[in-house]
Amino acid sequence: MATPDPGYDRVTGRAHASRSEIIAPHGMAATSQPLATQIALDILKAGGSAVDAAIAANAALGLMEPTGCGIGGDLFAIIWDAEKEELVGLNASGRAPKAMTLEYFQKNGIDKIPPFGPLPVSVPGTVDGWFELHGRYGRLSMQQILAPAIAYARDGFPVSEVIAYYMQSNAARIGEFPGFKETYMPNGHMPGKGEVFKNPRLATTYEALAEKGRDEFYKGDIARRIDAYMAEQGGLLNYDDLAAHHSEWVTPVSTNYRGWDVYELPPNGQGIAALQILNILEGYDIAAMGFGSAEYLHTLTEAKKLAFADRAKFYADMDFVDVPVTNLISKDYADARRGSIDPNKASMQVPAGDAKLDDGDTIYLTVADADGNMVSLIQSNYRGMGSGMTPGELGFVLQDRAELFSLDKDHANVVAGGKRPFHTIIPAFVMKDGKPLMSFGLMGGAMQPQGHAQIIVNLVDFGMNLQEAGDAARINHTGSSQPTGTTMTTGGVLHLESTFGAETRQALEAMGHTLGESNGGFGGYQAIMWDAEQGVYYGASEVRKDGQAAGY
Q: Is residue 448 part of a domain?
A: yes
Q: Is residue 61 part of a domain?
A: no
pLDDT attached to residue 393: 95
Number of domains in the chain: 1
pLDDT attached to residue 155: 98
Q: Is residue 135 part of a domain?
A: no
Of 450, 444, 469, the closest CA to residue 523 belongs to: 444
- Cβ distance 399 to 121 under 8 Å? yes
pTM, rounded to two decimals: 0.94
Is 362 assigned a catalytic role?
yes
Question: What does the angle CA 377 – CA 426 – CA 466 come to, to the nearest 5 degrees?
Answer: 70
Q: Is residue 478 part of a domain?
A: yes
Instruction: Render each residue's pLDDT in the chain as its tens digit; 552 residues.
Output: 233 333 445 455 667 878 899 999 999 999 999 999 999 999 999 999 999 999 999 999 999 999 999 999 999 999 999 999 999 999 999 999 999 999 999 999 999 999 999 999 999 999 999 999 999 999 999 999 999 999 999 999 999 998 999 999 899 899 999 999 999 998 899 999 999 999 999 999 999 999 999 999 999 999 999 999 999 999 999 999 999 999 999 999 999 999 999 999 999 999 999 999 999 999 999 999 999 999 999 999 999 999 999 998 999 999 999 999 999 999 999 999 999 999 999 998 777 755 433 555 689 999 999 999 999 999 999 988 999 999 989 999 999 999 999 999 999 999 999 999 999 999 999 999 999 999 999 988 889 999 999 999 999 999 999 999 999 999 999 987 776 666 666 789 999 998 999 999 999 999 999 998 776 689 899 999 999 999 999 999 988 888 999 999
DSSP single-letter state for residue 536: E
315 SS3 class: coil
Total residues belonging to the chain: 552
In the chain, the amino acid numbered 384 is G
Q: Is residue 442 part of a domain?
A: yes
Q: Is residue 278 part of a domain?
A: yes
Handedness of CA 138, 142, 144, 148 (dihedral sign): positive
Q: For 207-235, b where at least 16 C-beta lie within 10 A, e where not — what string?
A: bbbbeebbebbbbbebbebbbebbeebeb
Handedness of CA 390, 68, 62, 220 (dihedral sign): positive
What is the CATH number for 446? 3.60.20.40
Of 327, 329, 338, 355, the closest CA to residue 261 belongs to: 329
- Cβ distance 366 to 527 under 8 Å? yes
Phi and psi at residue 371, to the nearest 5°: -90, 0
Strands (E), 57-128: 74-81, 86-92
Domain that holds residue 447: 250-360+424-551
pLDDT attached to residue 432: 97
Q: Identify the H or E element spanning 118.
A: none
Using DSSP bridges, classify how beta strands 515-516 and 493-496 pair: parallel, antiparallel or unpaired: parallel
14 SS3 class: coil
Q: What CA–CA distance (Å, rounded) separates 439 from 373?
A: 10
Q: Which of 31, 67, 299, 362 is catalytic?
A: 362
Q: Is residue 205 part of a domain?
A: no
Q: What CA–CA distance (Å, rounded) separates 457 from 280?
A: 12
Q: Is residue 209 part of a domain?
A: no
Q: What CA–CA distance (Å, rounded) separates 400 from 429?
A: 27
pLDDT attached to residue 19: 87
